[in-house]
Amino acid sequence: MQIIKLNATDSTNTYLRELSVNKELEDYTVVTANHQTNGRGQMGTNWESQSGKNLTVSVFKDVSWLGVANHFFISMVVSLSLAKTLNEIMVMNVKIKWPNDILSDNYKLGGILIENIIKNNQLKASVIGIGLNVNQTIFDNLPQASSIQNITGRHFSLEEILNMLVENLMYFFNELQYKHAFVELKQAYDDKLFRIHKPSTFKDKKGNLIAGYIHGTDAYGNLLLLLENQVIKSYGFKELELLY
């Protein structure tokens, strides 16, 4: 595992993706930064993080063995790896707020941004961006955000958490690649979904409110909702927002 440590960059994902264009990267090449000037979340949202207090990291992963249709399993593996890492440092009640936020109880601890490299309609690699709130304790105007330190009362080494996270990524990717544990990993992911099988309220992209129960995800990563009329409907990324 090669680790590239930066003091500051606009985005670790951008840095790593551009690096992958210019040279052949070792699997699990890691880029970390003390500070991101333009950290990105899903669909162009920004990721705010205090310098030096949190884990801002991107990982290069060869996924040429995975079919394009199964690309959401990358997100599942990353989410499960984060959940396992948090459990190992005694963060309890870890949930995945579909599709890519990591919570403890109702508080957001981290987020995931996955950018796939596809050539000739085949997956080649993924740049896996992870932001994890570790030692930051104050979150202005972000009432749903928290950190590992706030929850556990302990200060953590960012390097220690990074090493644990990469080990867990290796474990779950091996389960997917060599044991073909598609069914098991999808079940584990669905079981950890925030508010699974609980009555919840959502807002669609037109601003309409929708009541339903999270039923799980389909093979493409869409969210399955059991609606009031007992019909199960699937929704893609950013088509729905779960209201707390």
Domains and CATH numbers, the chain: 3-191 (3.30.930.10), 199-242 (2.30.30)
pLDDT of residue 49: 67
pLDDT of residue 1: 82
Under 8 Å CB-to-CB from 42, ≥6 apart: which residues?
Answer: 99, 100, 111, 113, 237, 238
Report CA torsion sign: 108, 2, 182, 89.
Answer: negative
Determine contact, residues 82/230, Cβ cutoff 8 Å.
Answer: no
Q: Which DSSP helix (H) or strand (E) runs through 151?
A: helix 148-152
Q: Partners of 103 in the beta sheet?
A: 95, 108
Determine contact, residues 180/192, Cβ cutoff 8 Å.
Answer: no
Give the chain's radius of gyration (CA, Å). 18
Phi, psi of 173 (to 5 degrees): -65, -35
pLDDT of residue 118: 95
pLDDT of residue 37: 76
pLDDT of residue 45: 46
Q: What b-and-e string marks burial along 73-111, b requiring 16 or more CB atoms within 10 Å of the CB? A: bbbbbbbbbbbbbbeeeebeebbbbbbbbbbbeebbbbb
Report CA torsion sign: 69, 169, 149, 188.
Answer: positive
Helix, strand or coil for residue 26? coil
Chain mean position to CA 12: 15
Q: Partners of 137 in the beta sheet?
A: none
pLDDT of residue 46: 46
Q: Can you give the pLDDT of all 244 residues of the chain as single tens digits?
A: 899 999 989 899 999 999 999 899 999 999 999 887 765 554 444 445 677 899 999 999 999 999 999 999 999 999 999 999 999 999 999 999 999 899 999 999 999 999 999 999 999 999 999 999 999 999 988 889 999 999 999 999 999 999 999 999 999 999 999 999 999 999 999 999 999 999 999 999 999 999 999 999 998 999 999 998 999 999 998 899 998 7
pLDDT of residue 42: 44
Determine contact, residues 127/17, Cβ cutoff 8 Å.
Answer: yes
